């Protein structure tokens, strides 16, 4: 590929990526699998099975391409959303995903706090250390972005998984509490 074509290809990727791919460069302890690529979510991932992958985590709903793109560009323009995916390059399919959301605070001298969200690996690829790769990538990215803390909520059976990756339940500070709110979107789906 000529220099100009290569530069155009890089620019096209930057436009398509949710966040700059360079943020994932040279993260420590990264293991690049054969034929698998760890990269930012791209606007083209609707056609690579991203929504079907998320449906292995929870109810996603009948999201069309326009809805996906509208949310993608909203996340990109607001900033602070880092959806990291694993693509199987042979199948051109997204087979793993996890998200870092960076919250801007006033406390702690205008600190940044990270939240780990929506970790999922396609059932056919589980048990190959990809969940671990995704979570460690997010933890390293949070560190690179200078978050002072990375938090998550999880179901009880997953506590050992996250503990094995360095997360700790802090004594006296390990309760997740929620108010479930019935939104207009949910009502219209019923």
Ligand X SMILES: CC(C)(COP(=O)(O)OP(=O)(O)OC[C@H]1O[C@@H](n2cnc3c(N)ncnc32)[C@H](O)[C@@H]1OP(=O)(O)O)[C@@H](O)C(=O)NCCC(=O)NCCS
Applying CB under 6 A, which residues contact ligand X? Answer: 56-57, 119-121, 126-132, 154, 157-158, 160-161, 164
Query: Whole-angstrom Cα distance, residue 124 to residue 142?
Result: 28
Looking at the Cβ atoms of 52 and 56, the one nearer to ligand X is: 56
CB of 145 to ligand X, least distance (A): 21
Are the CB atoms for 39 and 33 separated by under 8 Å? no
CB of 190 to ligand X, least distance (A): 25
Query: Whole-angstrom Cα distance, residue 17 to residue 41?
Result: 6
Query: Whole-angstrom Cα distance, residue 95 to residue 36?
Result: 9
Looking at the Cβ atoms of 1 and 177, the one nearer to ligand X is: 177
The single-letter DSSP state of residue 17 is B
Q: Are strands 112-121 and 147-151 parallel, antiparallel or unpaired?
A: parallel
Looking at the Cβ atoms of 27 and 43, the one nearer to ligand X is: 27
Are the CB atoms for 24 and 32 separated by under 8 Å? no
Find the residue with minimal CB distance to ligand X. Answer: 131
Looking at the Cβ atoms of 84 and 121, the one nearer to ligand X is: 121
CB of 157 to ligand X, least distance (A): 5
CB of 125 to ligand X, least distance (A): 7
């Amino acid at each position: 590929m000529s220099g100009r074509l290569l530069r155009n290809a890089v620019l096209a990727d930057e436009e398509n990526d949710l966040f700059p791919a360079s943020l994932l460069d040279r993260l420590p302890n990264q293991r690049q699998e054969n034929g698998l690529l760890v990269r930012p979510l791209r606007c083209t991932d609707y056609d690579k099975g991203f929504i079907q992958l998320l449906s292995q985590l929870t109810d996603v709903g009948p999201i069309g391409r326009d809805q996906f793109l509208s949310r993608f560009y909203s996340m990109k323009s607001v900033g602070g959303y880092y959806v990291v995916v694993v693509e199987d390059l042979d199948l051109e399919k997204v087979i793993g995903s996890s998200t870092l959301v960076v919250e801007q605070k006033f406390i702690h001298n205008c600190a940044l706090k990270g939240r780990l969200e929506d970790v999922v690996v396609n059932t056919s690829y589980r048990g190959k250390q990809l969940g671990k790769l995704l979570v460690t990538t997010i933890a390293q990215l949070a560190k690179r972005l200078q978050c002072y803390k990375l938090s998550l909520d999880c179901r009880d059976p997953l506590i050992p998984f996250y503990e094995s990756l360095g997360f700790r339940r802090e004594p006296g500070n390990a309760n997740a509490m929620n108010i479930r709110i019935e939104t207009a979107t949910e009502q219209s789906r019923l």
